[in-house]
Every structure is written in C-alpha cells, then in structure tokens.
Amino acid sequence: MGRRFAFRIFVTFTFLFLVAPIISVAVSSVSGGAIFVFPPSAFTLKWYSQIPLSYLQALKVSLEVGAGATAIAVIVGVPAGLALVRGHLPGSRTLSAVCLMPLMVPSLVIGVAALQFTNVIFDEFHLSLVETVFGLTLAHSAFTIPFVVRAVIAGQVQLNGDLENAAMNLGARPMRVFVTVTLPMLGPAVLSGAIAAFLISFDDVPIALFLGGGEVTTLPVRILNSIQFDLSPAILALSTLVAGSILILIALCGKVFGLDKVFGTVKS
C-alpha cells in the first residue's frame, strides 16, 4: 500500500512539473510585488494595461510570419501529399523522403543555412531577404511544409475510399469527386497539419534570431531579449495571453475534431 501511495505521489508530482512553468507565467503576470519573488505579494492587473507597443509589434510579426509560412505549406503541401499517395509515381518513396527531410535538420542549422543563403541571393540578384518578414516567412516554410505533407499523407491512409467510389458510380466527374468528397474528408488532416505548422513557426527562435536581425523581431525573440536584457512583468502578461490563446485553440480543435485526429500528427 505504501508503494502504491508513493507511485501516486510521484505521478502527481510529474504532472505538476509539466504544468508548472505555464501556471507560473500566469501567476507571475498578476503579481504586484517585486518581479520573480515568491510568495507573490499582491494581486494586480496593471501589467496587462502596460504591454509596450514593441511587444505587440513583435506579436504582429510572429502572426504574419506564422500565417504566411502556414499558407505556403498548405498551398504546396496539400497537392504534394495527395500526389505522393495517389499518383503511384515511380520514386514516390524518395520524393516523400525529400519532402519530410527538413524535419530531421535542427532548426538552428536551417537558420545558419538560410542566413548564409540570403547573402548568396544578395550577391547574385541584389535582393535583400535578411531582416524582412518575407525572407523569414520563406525560411520558416522549410519546416512548415513537411508538417502539412506528413499530415495529408497520414490523413489519406485513414481515408475510406468507398465514398469516392460511390460518388464516381453515381456519375460525378473526378474533379467534382475531389472537391465535394475527398477534400472535405481530408479537412481534419489538413487542419491538424496547418495548426502544427503554425505553432512550430510561432515557436521558432533560432531562425528568427539569424534572419530577423534588429529590424524584424518575432515574439519569441523579443521574449528572449527581454529575459536577457530588460525583464519586465509586461512580457509575462503578454505571454499569459498568448499561452492561453494557444491552449484554447487546441482545446477547441480537440473538441471539434477529436484529440487523436488533431494530435496524431503533431508529435514528431
């Protein structure tokens, strides 16, 4: 009995360990006393009204880059995922491997490669991509694409072909079958891939650190700078809002599409 009790305590402790930093951000964001002193002395919401414009600017950059990199991934990744499964093309295994390859590469290495490649592009075409939202979006698409491709491939494996055959037997043309039957059934897979892609882009530090320079700062880089140089409770307030939004988004998607469907492809 004692051992069983110890097991329960240990598992509970592990759960607490997992959620501790998120709760800690939220609690610290409403604490009025000196920063990072336990126990918190007073409740206040003043940090929420004092979020500096530069933090909101960084949030805007992050949202733009995340939306852009996700859009690129969906636009090129969904057709690719379909072709890789249904095309029965020669060498499709190799082609899948090429599409998923960036997942193997540490994002720091992708960042170094992207930074040095922007120098090449500048030398050859006089096109400056460094310190631009567009350049950062392109660099992020290197690892948002594989998430969408993988989700679409996985989604088709679970797909039931009977509905498509039925539609075809009833006289629908292939294009119509695709638009009215296949795409709606693939919806959850595409959505889960897109969410994973967006969150990965939104989470990235190394690539944004290299490519953003001083001009284009994403929220994670802004938080990193804040931790290193000018820690203020306002960053805790914004972080709480962001973390809360992410968790609500995930809970909603889990509710609508089922936890397994949304997260089946998130874990790498």
Partner 1 sequence: MGAMTEAVNDRKIFRRVLLSPVKRRWAYLLLPVLMVLLIVFILPMINLGLKSLHPYTGLGSEGSELTLNNYIAFLSQPFYWQLLGWTSILGVIVVACSLVFALPLSYFLARTKSRWKQFFLLLIIAPMLVSVVIRNLGWLPILGQNGLVNWIWLNADLGKEPLHLLDNYIGVVIGLVHALLPFMVLTLISVIQRIPPELEEASISLGVKPLGTFLRIVLPLARPGIIAGSLLVFTLTISAYTTPAVMGGGRVIVVSTYIQQQVSTLLNYPNGATVSMVLLALVVLLSIASLRLGKTEA
Question: Which position among 114, 181, 194, 237 is part of the footprint of partner 1 (CB under 8 A)?
Answer: 114
Please give the backbone phi and psi of residue 43, each rounded to the nearest 5 degrees, phi first.
Answer: -90, 135
Q: Which of residues 222-241 bind partner 1 (CB under 8 A)?
A: 223-224, 227-228, 231, 235-236, 239
Residue 43 in 3-state DSSP?
strand
127 makes contact with partner 1 (CB under 8 A) = no
Q: How far apart are the first and last CA of the chain?
A: 38
When the beta carbons of 172 and 231 are compared against partner 1, the nearer one is 231
11 makes contact with partner 1 (CB under 8 A) = yes
48 makes contact with partner 1 (CB under 8 A) = no
Q: How far is the CB of 224 from partner 1 (least distance, A)?
A: 6
Rounded CA-CA distance 129/118 in Å is 6
When the beta carbons of 15 and 43 are compared against partner 1, the nearer one is 15
Angle 166-167-169 (CA atoms, 0-180°, nearest 5)? Answer: 65
Question: Which position among 41, 50, 116, 128 is part of the footprint of partner 1 (CB under 8 A)?
Answer: 116
21 makes contact with partner 1 (CB under 8 A) = yes
Please, is 117 exposed, middle or buried when counting C-beta atoms within 10 Å of its C-beta (0-12, 13-18, 19+)?
middle
Q: How far is the CB of 217 from partner 1 (least distance, A)?
A: 12
Angle 203-83-177 (CA atoms, 0-180°, nearest 5)? Answer: 105
When the beta carbons of 167 and 235 are compared against partner 1, the nearer one is 235
Structure tokens belonging to residue 245 = 């939004």
Q: Which of residues 155-194 bind partner 1 (CB under 8 A)?
A: none
126 makes contact with partner 1 (CB under 8 A) = no
Q: How far is the CB of 199 from partner 1 (least distance, A)?
A: 6
186, 64, 28, 42 alpha-carbon torsion, rounded to 10°: -120
88 makes contact with partner 1 (CB under 8 A) = yes
Q: Which of residues 51-80 bind partner 1 (CB under 8 A)?
A: 72, 75-77, 79-80
Q: How far is the CB of 102 from partner 1 (least distance, A)?
A: 5
Residue with tokens 């930093």: 21
Report, in angstroms and rounded to the nearest whole number, the Rg of the chain calculated over CA atoms: 23
Residue type, 128: S
Q: How far is the CB of 49 from partner 1 (least distance, A)?
A: 20
Rounded CA-CA distance 234/35 in Å is 11
Question: Which position among 71, 102, 132, 133 is part of the footprint of partner 1 (CB under 8 A)?
Answer: 102
Rounded CA-CA distance 67/202 in Å is 9
Q: How far is the CB of 263 from partner 1 (least distance, A)?
A: 6
